[in-house]
Structure 1
Amino acid sequence: MKKIGLFTINDYNNYGNRLQNYAVQEYLKSLGFEVETIRNGTKYSKYSKRPNLISRVENLIKLTPREAYIKVTNKFLEKVNNNKIKELKNSRERNFKKFTKEHILETDYSISDTNIPEDLSNNYDYFITGSDQVWNPYNHRTSDIDFLTFAPRNKRIALSPSFGVSKIPEDYIERYRKWISEINSLSVREYDGAKIIKDLTGREVPVLVDPTLLLKKEKWLSISKVDSNKPSKKYLLTYFLGGVPKKYKEQIAIISKRNNLDVVNLGDIREELYYAIGPSQFLDYINSCSIFCTDSFHGAVFSILLEKPFLIYNREGSSVSMYSRIDTLLDKFDLHSRKAESFNINSNNTKLFEVDYSHVTHILDAERNKALEYLTKALGVKGEN
């Protein structure tokens, strides 16, 4: 059986990251491969500068007022409630690592851009990088190993990686051009990413769906778990990265009160009951909710997969490029009507809870076939592996 070494961001704090890692692994296993996620321990790549007081201030100035407010407020809360915050974060990380141990095969060693085992390339038949923001130039961990430069070209495959931006900074262009040009099989997750590659290399590359969409609903529910704190009555679920903005809170309160729904907020450290839940519980909370309000890409993805009513909100203060992947997703599945701005929240609108998913199965089948065609060609799969 041929073996694949998988490169992604090893994040024990992010639901989308853990679930896409699992999805890639399981999908590749279904094609007949042995799959191992190689732990990347790079904290600061040789191309990034370690933060100091001046750089932290400069980064803070670059943020929007809301992003800066959230960052400063969170730091303040951590100082005031240091022990409680620390324990909540530790508990969350433990639950994410527990999920990883149960569902994802990781190496018992880690590598970095300055510490690559000499025999690494010989231990795998192929290497796949993706599908998270492994190519984000503003991530201080991003380096040449995220482009698989240590491996022979014919072993390098990119499976729907994301740049996380719509434009590469000027001082990154030449090395990104070189690294990307040397990858044998290329695909990306967003239209912006395909344009970046076209501009840098002249290559036309397929835009594939996030790998979480390659697994069927039944597969996801098989690893979901009920949280002990889940409400017994019907509830509205929220998941906003950075907390729920005030104006969205007011809209959500109207929806919940009018429909007699409890409110469950995930991902907010001020919500002690729910902050530390793991990825398996995250899946069940979405599957069991009456409606899901979120600004998260993977929040929208799992709403679609689990066929739940959802409202997608613009992430306050984020750049247009950060919204690109959500726009790509809604465009692909003809679900732009699920943007919160499409509804008059103040009216008693029953359509909030009505989503026509009848057309999605056909689109999903086509996207899954597209990904299968890409991977079977990239991996040289002919019939049974």
Structure 2
Amino acid sequence: MRIGILTQPLHTNYGGLLQAYALQRTLIELGHDVLTIDISTEKSFAKKTIDILSEIKNEFPTTCKIRLKQLVDHYSNNHKKIISQNTNAFIDNYINKTTKLTSIKKIKCLQKYNFDAYIVGSDQVWRPKYSPDILTFYLNFLGNDNRILRIAYAASFGVDHWEYTTELTSKCKMLAQLFDSISVREDSAVNLCKSFLNVEAIHVLDPTMLLQPSHYQAIATSFDKSENTKPFIATYILDDSIEKQSIIRKTTNFFNLESIPLMPKSILEYESSDINTNYIYPSVEYWLKNIINCDFVISDSYHGAVFSIIFNKQFIIVGNPKRGLARITSLLRMFNLETRLVYDNIENLEDLFTNPIDYKHANEILSNNRDKSINFICNSLAIKSI
């Protein structure tokens, strides 16, 4: 079957890239011909924000103007090309894509691929603030064509409450009811689908968990730079803060280990127009290799938790409400690992350090849910005879 995957635009997000890769790889291994739709917007939400700030920059004090200039530089094509060179290489080498669609308006160009099915997911494809023109992610461009399968795999709202306006809810409800099958990534999303979209959904794994650890190990071993042979703690922090740095320091002091950050320096830290390697996103292969080889993971990321579980790592996840906690609480609840979620309170960290995760039970849960999730995909693709 010829399948098009519609996920969020591919960029520098490691979790976003790996979930896109994993879903495509799973479908290919099931015998299908698969392309991920390479879609971007003419102007991202972030770029729109920068444009608005640029218009009022004269009202800002000098320090704010400096930071604003850095952000504008960051979102310029030249700077983006430099800092994303490694992640772009992963996209080019590992993900089969359609021709790039530079605008949602060009979505009709997909007709030339004659897809038998579209799969929407995963990641926060159904969260308005993260998805450009969210109606596209409900496959509105298919109209009433019922010859093409419409499937949602591990679609995520990102949060456990409803963020849609009344008007948007009405439109998405109508479109959701045209889907042949729907699965969601968070347990809370099952009820959101039923309550607001009037559709049934089942809870499945993030696509990254459909593949065996050995699959990622093979990708990581293709990274040919020297590796750290000493024990270390991997830190994958998306939104840094004083509190998170305190947690990192307390952890490194307790274990007497060095920490290796898996994110580049923030673009807000550089003081000139020249970008050195400290600001370039490391390769996905490097990211995977360090998760695999580390002794402990500290992260505020959903996929930081996912890959810690996949590789049976001891870890703590620092709550990051800014990006949506429902994803993380749902994941940890599935594996009975809720205690691994911490917030600003660091007094009880040593209890986690001295009570390591027993992965025997977690691995059984993962295996059972992997079978369930792959069965969902197979059964969904068999709904219609193409």
Coarse TM-score class (shorter-chain normalised)? 0.7 to 0.9
Aligned length: 361
C-alpha change, 1:44 and 1:162, in structure 2 (3 Å) is: farther
1:202 to 198, 204, 221: 198
| AA of the residue aligned to 2:298 | C
State the TM-score, normalized to the length of structure 2.
0.82
C-alpha change, 1:93 and 1:349, in structure 2 (3 Å) is: closer
C-alpha change, 1:175 and 1:329, in structure 2 (3 Å) is: same
The 5-angstrom pairing of residues 128-277 of structure 1 reads 128-139=119-130, 141-151=132-142, 152-153=145-146, 154-165=148-159, 166-170=161-165, 171-225=167-221, 226=223, 228=225, 230-243=227-240, 245-270=241-266, 273=278, 275-277=280-282
| AA of the residue aligned to 1:351 | T
C-alpha change, 1:74 and 1:163, in structure 2 (3 Å) is: farther
Alignment partners' CA distance in 2, 1:359 and 1:73: 50
C-alpha change, 1:124 and 1:348, in structure 2 (3 Å) is: closer
Would you say the 8 A contact 1:227–1:281 is kept in 2? no
The yes-or-no answer on 1:97 pairing with 2:105 is: no
In the other structure, the counterpart of 1:64 is none
| 1:269 to partner: Cα distance | 1.8
2:322 to 308, 318, 321: 318
Alignment partners' CA distance in 2, 1:308 and 1:286: 8
- Cα root mean square deviation, aligned: 3.4
In the other structure, the counterpart of 1:351 is 354
Would you say the 8 A contact 1:38–1:106 is kept in 2? yes
The yes-or-no answer on 1:308 pairing with 2:304 is: no
In the other structure, the counterpart of 1:26 is 25
In the other structure, the counterpart of 2:4 is 5
Alignment partners' CA distance in 2, 1:274 and 1:113: 30
Alignment partners' CA distance in 1, 2:115 and 2:140: 14
Alignment partners' CA distance in 2, 1:281 and 1:111: 29
Alignment partners' CA distance in 1, 2:17 and 2:365: 25
C-alpha change, 1:374 and 1:218, in structure 2 (3 Å) is: same
Q: Percent identity?
A: 28
Query: What CA deviation, in whole Å up to 9, does each residue of 1:205-246 have, x standing for no partner?
Result: 101110101111101111114474754422111111122x21
1:106 to 83, 97, 104: 97
C-alpha change, 1:310 and 1:348, in structure 2 (3 Å) is: closer
Alignment partners' CA distance in 1, 2:65 and 2:33: 41
Greater shift in the superposed pair: 193-202 or 2-11: 193-202
> What SS is found at the alignment partner of 1:124?
coil
Would you say the 8 A contact 2:234–2:260 is kept in 1? yes
Would you say the 8 A contact 2:210–2:374 is kept in 1? no
Query: What CA deviation, in whole Å up to 9, does each residue of 1:270-316 have, x standing for no partner?
Result: 5954852121111111111111101100000000001111011111x
| 1:140 to partner: Cα distance | 5.8
